[in-house]
Structure 1
Amino acid sequence: MNFPLYFSKKIAFSKDNKNNLSRVIVFIGRLSVALGVIVSLLTISIGLGSKKAIKERMADFSGHISIKSKQSNNSYNSSILSSEDLQLQKIKEMPDVASTQKFVAASGILRNEHNFAGIIFKGVGKDFDSARFRKFIVAGHVPVVTEKGFSNGICISQKIATDLHINVKDSIVAIFSKENQSPLYRKFEVVGIYKTDIKMIDDLFVIGGINHARKIQGMSNTEVGGIDVFLKNINYIDEDAPKIDQLVGYKNYTVKATDEYPQIMDFIAIFDMNIALIISIMLVVVIINIIMVLLILIIERTNSIGMLKTLGATNGQIRMIFINYTLLIMIPGLIFGNLIALIFLFIQKYFGIITLNPENYYLSVVPVELNVFHILLVSFGILVVSGISLVVPSYLISKISPVKAIKYN
């Protein structure tokens, strides 16, 4: 029988303990543990959820990895993608690749009697991943593209629609110009309005038929300006980008969605620092409170310590009794902390009660990432760190004399 653990359970769950003068400090200790668990779980779940949501929004709109021609020189206007050494079929057969779609991009202006807006017209073909894009639609529907003739339906952002005072089924004129050529005018019908909450996307991009973009850029019906590659998981992007880069040919290059908008990635990087900082602060608070609980329990049970020493218990055994005792009284705090945190996270995940300003946070609703591993890690981590931190203050027990302890009180 493990004597320290057995004795710890006896005094931790004793009915006499409820009337003990230490019950207030025990309550404070449990409360600090519960708050530590709640704040840690909220920080991790919301922080990781925000990172994932922002990355997925960028990737689902423009592809996790885009293949472009080196002649484009990072311009929004597409140059013809070289087919030389481009092994598109091998890219499609990669196990992590979900789908691909071709596109041609052209810069222009949308204009009506109310206002005008500079845009990037992204022409997509019949392989357009409309199911992936549909999550962004707030009005109307995704443009239907067949590549037979010219599809006049376009999808614009809610920001552009507001600026130009237009709605679904309204018509709008787009103007495109190229060097040494007269401006090209195109009349489109707005069939859908989307919203990604990412300002750099919503301010610029219009989705339409690829044949219009080919005509603007002087391409044939078989030429494309780039290929968007969608992966099955955003976490594969850093691993698969170099593999895909080896299959695009020397005249083309690849760009990850996470590299398209470096200012957003800088913003995301702040989450990691904030998560580490908040969890560190909460651990310090929990440790200080738990050490305080242990010291008060030792002082209050000085008489019991003297009796145990008189009966032959070693300092090490008594230290383990009080360390186990302190950890056992933490358990209700861990249980209630997890319960309260999970209730809040589930409500937020499925009802989205807390909203954000997308211009500042790139999201309109606080996202939540629920992960069983993180939930268990927080509770286990608090128990382990607390147990280790109790070792040094528990040495106070070795300073207690049995004779003086028995006379105590």
Structure 2
Amino acid sequence: LKGFLQPGGRWVDFNDSTYSKEINISVYTAEQLGVKLNDQLIIFFMQDGGEAPRTRKLKIAGLYKTGIDEYDKLVAIGDMRLIQRLNDWDANQIGGYEMFLKNYDEMDVVSESITADLPVGLKSSTIKELYPSIFDWLSMQNYTIVIVLAIMVAIAILNLVTCLLILVLERTRMIGILKAVGGENFTIQKVFLYQGAIITFFGLFFGNIFGLLICWLQMKFGFIKLPEDAYFMSEAAVNIVWWQVGAVNIATFIICFVVLLIPTVIIRRIQPVRAIQFR
């Protein structure tokens, strides 16, 4: 939470007395309530059984902003001992525990295991169950990434095929002469495949330099901003995973090289006599 605290504020001071009379709320909540830092906030605690709500006056020690609506609209940070006192709980009673796992993939298995060991009336919930909209959005982004990559590769292939076709057609007469002096189809094809591979390599090389530079600048300065209510973040998040960069480059090069075999088939159909006369 350290990076979410707004300038001028601080987190709740959990002193050793009965309970802290401070609270942290989000910037969104402060704007909705028309309050600011260090203001006194009257909190109403609803009671079961139709009892009148209890009130406490707490000082706003700091404001936070995560950019995630599900947190900013619902979460306030205060002293747990105040809740225990209002509910007549002892020091060992709480409303719930939060567990953080090192391996995200084990979340569902661990949750089911905990639920099986809990008494009736208690249950374990994963963060996916508590905030499904965030994970639905992340899942949608994964599909978007695949679609964008597919479109980019398709455009690259189309450009390369077009470029190689132009090279072949511009050198039709040269191909005819090479065939007339005994050049084999495969040997001539290799020349054009080599040219296509060079174009592909330099295209990937300079594309990587430009793309990684943009990613580094975004990580450093965050100049690409996003509307938080739609994307759950204020700026585009970038994380360079080098093995993924390498895998995409290798896969793109292989796919483009294989596709380059298609226009070189034209070389086999070129007849030396007609090609030499070609203008």
Is the TM value for this pair above 0.5?
Answer: yes
Identify the residue that residue 242 of structure 1 maps to in structure 2: 109
Identify the residue that residue 71 of structure 2 maps to in structure 1: 201
Q: For each residue in 1:107-144, what CA deviation from the matched residue of structure 2 results, as whole angstroms up to 9, or x when unmatched?
A: xxxxxxxxxxxxxxxxxxxxxxxxxx222111411113
2:240 pairs with 1:378: no
- Offset, 1:370: 1.1
CA distance in structure 2 between the aligned counterparts of 1:338 and 1:147, rounded to whole angstroms: 55
- Offset, 1:314: 2.3
Identify the residue that residue 225 of structure 1 maps to in structure 2: 95
Task: Select the structure that is richer in strand.
Answer: 1
Q: Please tell me whether the aligned partners of residues 25 and 60 of structure 2 are also in contact (alpha carbons under 8 angstroms).
A: yes
The equivalences for 1:307-322 within 5 A come to 307-322=177-192
Which of 329, 332, 346 is the matching residue for 2:216? 346
The equivalences for 1:113-128 within 5 A come to none
Letter in 1 for 2:44: I
Identify the residue that residue 137 of structure 1 maps to in structure 2: 5
Q: Please tell me whether the aligned partners of residues 111 and 126 of structure 2 are also in contact (alpha carbons under 8 angstroms).
A: no
2:26 pairs with 1:157: yes
CA distance in structure 2 between the aligned counterparts of 1:304 and 1:158, rounded to whole angstroms: 71
CA distance in structure 2 between the aligned counterparts of 1:246 and 1:302, rounded to whole angstroms: 70
Q: Which stretch of structure 1 is more off in the superposition, 330-339 or 170-179?
A: 330-339
The equivalences for 1:64-213 within 5 A come to 133-139=1-7, 140-146=9-15, 148-180=17-49, 181-213=51-83
CA distance in structure 2 between the aligned counterparts of 1:317 and 1:148, rounded to whole angstroms: 87
3-state SS, counterpart of residue 330 of structure 1: helix
CA distance in structure 1 between the aligned counterparts of 2:126 and 2:16, rounded to whole angstroms: 27
Letter in 1 for 2:239: E
How well do the aligned residues superpose, as a CA RMSD in angstroms? 1.9
- Offset, 1:245: 4.0
Q: Which stretch of structure 1 is more off in the superposition, 397-406 or 149-158?
A: 397-406
Q: Which stretch of structure 1 is more off in the superposition, 269-278 or 189-198?
A: 269-278
Distance 1:240 1:205, change over 3 A: closer
3-state SS, counterpart of residue 205 of structure 1: coil
- Offset, 1:311: 4.0
- Offset, 1:147: 6.2
3-state SS, counterpart of residue 6 of structure 2: strand
Letter in 1 for 2:5: I
* TM-score of the aligned structures, taking structure 1 as reference length: 0.63
Q: Please tell me whether the aligned partners of residues 84 and 94 of structure 2 are also in contact (alpha carbons under 8 angstroms).
A: yes
Q: Please tell me whether the aligned partners of residues 298 and 322 of structure 1 are also in contact (alpha carbons under 8 angstroms).
A: yes
Q: For each residue in 1:29-71, what CA deviation from the matched residue of structure 2 results, as whole angstroms up to 9, or x when unmatched?
A: xxxxxxxxxxxxxxxxxxxxxxxxxxxxxxxxxxxxxxxxxxx
CA distance in structure 2 between the aligned counterparts of 1:257 and 1:135, rounded to whole angstroms: 21
Structure 2's unaligned 5+ residue stretches are: none
Q: Please tell me whether the aligned partners of residues 245 and 253 of structure 1 are also in contact (alpha carbons under 8 angstroms).
A: no
Distance 1:201 1:243, change over 3 A: closer
2:271 pairs with 1:401: yes
3-state SS, counterpart of residue 207 of structure 1: coil
CA distance in structure 1 between the aligned counterparts of 2:16 and 2:248, rounded to whole angstroms: 53
Distance 1:359 1:188, change over 3 A: same
Which of 307, 324, 328 is the matching residue for 2:198? 328
Identify the residue that residue 75 of structure 1 maps to in structure 2: none
* TM-score of the aligned structures, taking structure 2 as reference length: 0.90
Q: Please tell me whether the aligned partners of residues 200 and 256 of structure 2 are also in contact (alpha carbons under 8 angstroms).
A: no
- Offset, 1:336: 1.7
- Offset, 1:148: 4.5
3-state SS, counterpart of residue 41 of structure 2: strand
Letter in 1 for 2:139: A
- Detail structure 1 runs of 4+ shifted over 6 Å in the superposition: none
3-state SS, counterpart of residue 228 of structure 1: coil
CA distance in structure 1 between the aligned counterparts of 2:31 and 2:12, rounded to whole angstroms: 19
CA distance in structure 1 between the aligned counterparts of 2:93 and 2:200, rounded to whole angstroms: 66
Indicate the structure whose relative CO is greater, using CA pairs within 8 Å and at least 6 residues apart: 1
3-state SS, counterpart of residue 156 of structure 1: strand
Query: Between Structure 1 and Structure 2, how many residues are aligned?
Result: 274
3-state SS, counterpart of residue 166 of structure 1: coil
Identify the residue that residue 276 of structure 1 maps to in structure 2: 146
CA distance in structure 1 between the aligned counterparts of 2:186 and 2:126, rounded to whole angstroms: 57
Identify the residue that residue 52 of structure 1 maps to in structure 2: none
CA distance in structure 1 between the aligned counterparts of 2:206 and 2:65, rounded to whole angstroms: 39
Q: Please tell me whether the aligned partners of residues 67 and 234 of structure 2 are also in contact (alpha carbons under 8 angstroms).
A: yes
Structure 1's unaligned 5+ residue stretches are: 1-132
3-state SS, counterpart of residue 141 of structure 1: coil
Letter in 2 for 1:177: M
